[in-house]
Amino acid sequence: MTIYDIAREAKVGIGTVSRVLNNSPKVTDETRDRVVTVAKRLNYQPHAFAQGLARKRSNTLCAVIPFFTNYFFIQVLQGVQETLAAVGYDLIIHGANTQAQLEDYLDHSMRKGRVDGTLLFSLKLPDRFAEVFIEKKNPLVLVDTFHPSFDSIRVDNTEGAKKATEYLLSLGYRTIGMLNANLSSVPAQERLSSFKATMCTHNVEVRDEYIINSSNTKNDGFSREAGYEGMAEFLRRGIKLPSAFFVSSDIQAIGMIAALRENNLQVPNDIAIVSFDDIEIAKYFNLTTMRQPMFDMGELAVKKMLERIENPSAPISSINFTPTLVVRSSCGANKNYVLNDNR
Amino acid sequence: MTIYDIAREAKVGIGTVSRVLNNSPKVTDETRDRVVTVAKRLNYQPHAFAQGLARKRSNTLCAVIPFFTNYFFIQVLQGVQETLAAVGYDLIIHGANTQAQLEDYLDHSMRKGRVDGTLLFSLKLPDRFAEVFIEKKNPLVLVDTFHPSFDSIRVDNTEGAKKATEYLLSLGYRTIGMLNANLSSVPAQERLSSFKATMCTHNVEVRDEYIINSSNTKNDGFSREAGYEGMAEFLRRGIKLPSAFFVSSDIQAIGMIAALRENNLQVPNDIAIVSFDDIEIAKYFNLTTMRQPMFDMGELAVKKMLERIENPSAPISSINFTPTLVVRSSCGANKNYVLNDNR
DNA sequence: CTGAAAGCGCTAACAT
DNA sequence: ATGTTAGCGCTTTCAG
């Protein structure tokens, strides 16, 4: 079934059919009706590629993400998907767990015309590709990563770590440690600096032996394994435990809790924890954490992209989300908070 | 940059360029080199839609899933994604949380030519669409759902529930309950019947008051909330607790554990649990569970689809996966199993 | 307001 | 082995 078929049946030209299908105003109601009726009867579906070729537009976006290795992305993707569905765009997903896979994808799969724009999540954009995107005028929006030449959506790690630390301080904790992800990751760096700075501002000593920088590199240290190993190793060293820990992600906190449990240590009785992200399962563990508005980030990323497509020469924007504190019971308060927390 | 540009530069016809780009054997090495060089210099990328239009093939598949509401799908999708990436296919993802959304998608978004095939997950295929797929010869593979006219990949719920029940029985438990999802869902029905049948086979009484069929309809009852509410309601009734429960999904077990904990009941000390799925977080809760080979299911679904595309007239196949028992500590054994279980 | 015709970029059949 | 040409199905001038 093509527009030729419906043109023949409706006794009009293909141009008219196309106009009707695209809601052009310059068609008589009478002709329009005739065409619409036939189209419906023939159960006509436009051919996406033919449209794309003629329109020079695909109505689809591509999301390149460290695929499913982290619950964080799943929730951001949810925001992306729903926003896109609402405007009738399709979503192509490409997994790239490492920088190498990213480059591989960028090298091979970036066929022209396939997508109207791409969303890059949490992966560093290599400079040589930045140039390609610019040169080919291929819209790119970065989420949880940054490059001066493109729009980006980020989380304010500094402010988030500050709030988390101050919350711990406000509860009276004074010996506070930090279980961090790999220092090679920018968010890990920012969260650590801010933690130290905040402690300093409040005249509380930061003790180096209480700073655990993960050596497990899975997911840049943002993994359950990294949290588990970090804490297990710490306990093995036999140092006296601080009274609280700021942990760089929920998933690490979950691993850390497992390590603590094996040593018969309880949260929050023996040690308080405030972590980062508020992934969906954080509530199952009653984690007090800094919530990142993941769904909203996905939604905003799409909106930014749509704007960028509309107006390629608009000034580049970089917007920051500030995490908010979600209090559950891992710091010793609101033990039953989770009960009503089914969002 | 089109093949015309590179044809001109290489002083050949566009046909030759196309041949080179498609690795046709009938081109002199000399000419081939010339074309390849120019293509590389011009950083040529084929236009996906033009190719698709001419080839009548998109090299992309669409996955329609109850989007991200269940960790189960995420893991299946991972298998889908990686398998597809390996063969150079693109993956379009469509979320359809309800049957209504499914129909909506099928009605509006199924533009012709867009995808070479679609993978439908866990959603019932309405008959009127079955006809459309058949009539349009649109390849369709069903995962975790069934229709006689299409290839499908399923899980053997009967065998899985049997194994789970027998495991409980082998441990010596005799008063065993089942916390089930909504009975409207087929997997829930199958798991319950098999549970009852197995109990019967072993001459152990099935007591109706120990069968909890979730009334919470989120995700057909396969949700944390359903598990939580089911158990909370059960405890409220003050019936003496059975010694063990077979739970129809991990996620429900997690909710159930939360409800138990609020009543100072421990797993496995006060009650043993064996559940179903082995989603990634199951290990965080030390759940003994029936593992569904989710990644493998995704992978197989893709392979089936690729075969179907190659050979549209092959006989329809329906293959079943049998879940395997993963022992952790929720039934009282192997308390530390999780330590080495970082898969 | 509508029909005819020229592309969009590529593949594949047809000549040579 | 290579060039030429006819589509693929749709949008969009350009005439009328």
A260 CA vs D11 C1’ separation (Å): 65
Task: Judge whether residue B113 contacts strand D, using its CB and a 7 Å cut-off.
Answer: yes
Q: B40 contacts in A (CB within 8 Å)?
A: none
Any idea what the CATH number is for the domain that residue B21 is in? Answer: 1.10.260.40
Please say if the pLDDT value at position B207 is more than 60. yes
From first to last of its 343 residues, chain A has per-residue pLDDT tens of: 899 999 999 999 999 999 999 999 889 999 999 999 999 999 899 999 999 999 999 999 999 988 665 677 888 998 999 999 999 999 999 988 888 888 888 887 778 889 999 999 988 899 989 998 998 889 999 999 999 999 999 999 999 999 999 999 999 999 999 999 999 888 899 999 999 999 999 999 999 999 999 989 888 899 999 999 999 999 999 999 999 999 999 999 999 999 999 999 999 999 999 999 998 889 889 999 999 999 999 999 999 999 999 999 999 999 999 999 999 999 986 533 333 333 3
Tell whether A203 and A306 lie within a shared domain.
no
Residues 210-269 of A, Cβ under 7 A from nucleic strand D: none
If asked whether residues B261 and B228 sit together in one domain, one would say yes
Determine the residue among A3, A49, A136 to mutate to test chain B binding: the one whose Cβ has the most chain B Cβ atoms within 10 Å: A49
Verify if strand C has an atom below 7 Å from the CB of B48. Answer: no
Q: How many residues does chain A have?
A: 343
Q: Which nucleotide does the CA of B32 lie closest to, via C1'?
A: D1
B254 interaction partners in chain A (CB closer than 8 Å): 284
Same domain, A174 and A211: yes
Structure tokens at B291: 């593992």
In sequence order, what are the residues at sequence separation of 6 or more whose Cβ sits closer than 8 angstroms to the Cβ of residue B45? A110, A111, A112, B1
A261 contacts on B by Cβ (under 8 Å): none
Buried residues in B93-107 as b, exposed as e (16+ CB within 10 A): bbbbbeeebbeebbe
Residue B229 makes CB contacts below 8 A (sequence gap 6+) with B214, B215, B216, B255, B259
Q: With CB atoms and an 8 Å threshold, state whether B50 touches A113.
A: yes
Q: Are residues A330 and A228 in the same domain?
A: yes
Residue B217: its pLDDT value, please?
A: 87
In chain B, the number of structural domains is 3
Q: Which nucleotides of C are covered by protein (CB under 7 A)?
A: 1-5, 7-14
| Average pLDDT value for residue range B88-99 | 89
Together in a domain, A331 and A235 = yes
Q: Is the CB of A15 less than 7 A from some atom of nucleic acid strand C?
A: yes
Looking at the fold, whether B284 and B179 belong to one and the same domain comes out as yes
Q: Which nucleotide is nearest to B112 (CA to C1')?
A: D9
**Is the separation of the CB atoms in B291 and B326 below 8 Å?**
yes
CATH code, A141: 3.40.50.2300
Model confidence over B1-29: pLDDT tens digits? 899 999 999 999 999 999 999 999 989 99
- Whether A14 CB is under 7 Å from strand D: yes
Pair (A177, A255) in one structural domain: yes
- The answer on B139 and B163 residing in a single domain is no
Do residues A68 and A116 share a domain? yes
User: What is the per-residue pLDDT for B99?
Assistant: 83
Residue B341's pLDDT band (cuts 50, 70, 90): very low
**For D2, which residue's CA is nearest its C1'?**
B16
User: Residue A222 and residue A214: Cα distance in Å, rounded?
Assistant: 9
Confidence of residue B342 (pLDDT cuts 50, 70, 90): very low
Q: Which of A92, A69, A67 is nearest to A80 (CA)?
A: A92
Nucleotide lying nearest to A56, CA to C1' measure: C8
pLDDT at position A107, please? Answer: 82
**Phi-psi category of residue A221: left, alpha or beta, with phi > 0 → left and psi -120 to 50 → alpha:** left
Determine the structural domain holding residue B261 and report its residue range: 157-292+325-339
- Kindly tell me the number of DSSP H helices and DSSP E strands found in chain A: 12, 12
Candidates B111, B115, B128: best to mutate against A (most CBs of A within 10 A) is B111
Residue in B closest to A106 by C-alpha: B45
Residue type, A81: Q
Same domain, A225 and A335: yes
* DSSP, residue by residue, A41-77: HTT---BHHHHHHHHT---EEEEEESTTSSHHHHHHH
Sign of CA dihedral B70, B72, B77, B82: positive
List the structure tokens of A43. Answer: 């159960």
> Is it the case that residue B326 has pLDDT exceeding 80?
yes
**Tokens 């508005």 map to which residue?**
A293
For the record, the structure tokens of B275 come out as 């559940």
Instruction: Using the structure, give the distance in angstroms from the CA atom of B145 to the C1' atom of C16, rounded to a whole number.
Output: 56
CB-based contact A53 B50, cutoff 8 Å: yes
pLDDT at A19: 94
| Least confident segment among B95-99, B138-142, B231-235 | B95-99
Torsion angles phi and psi, residue A303, rounded to 5: -60, -45
Say which nucleotide is closest to residue A13, CA to C1' distance: C3
pLDDT at B334: 52
pLDDT digits (tens, 9 = 90+) for B268-312: 999 999 999 998 889 889 999 999 999 999 999 999 999 999 998
The answer to which of A286-295, B43-52, B327-336 has the lowest mean pLDDT is B327-336
B151 and B163 share one domain: no
Residues B150 and B298 reside in one and the same domain: yes
Q: What pLDDT does residue A231 have?
A: 97
B54 Cβ nearer than 7 Å to chain C strand: yes
Q: How far is the CA of B309 from the C1' of D11 (A)?
A: 30
Structural tokens at position B263: 């009543």
User: d(Cα A311, Cα A116) in Å, to the nearest integer?
Assistant: 13
Instruction: Compute chain B's Rg from CA coordinates.
Output: 26
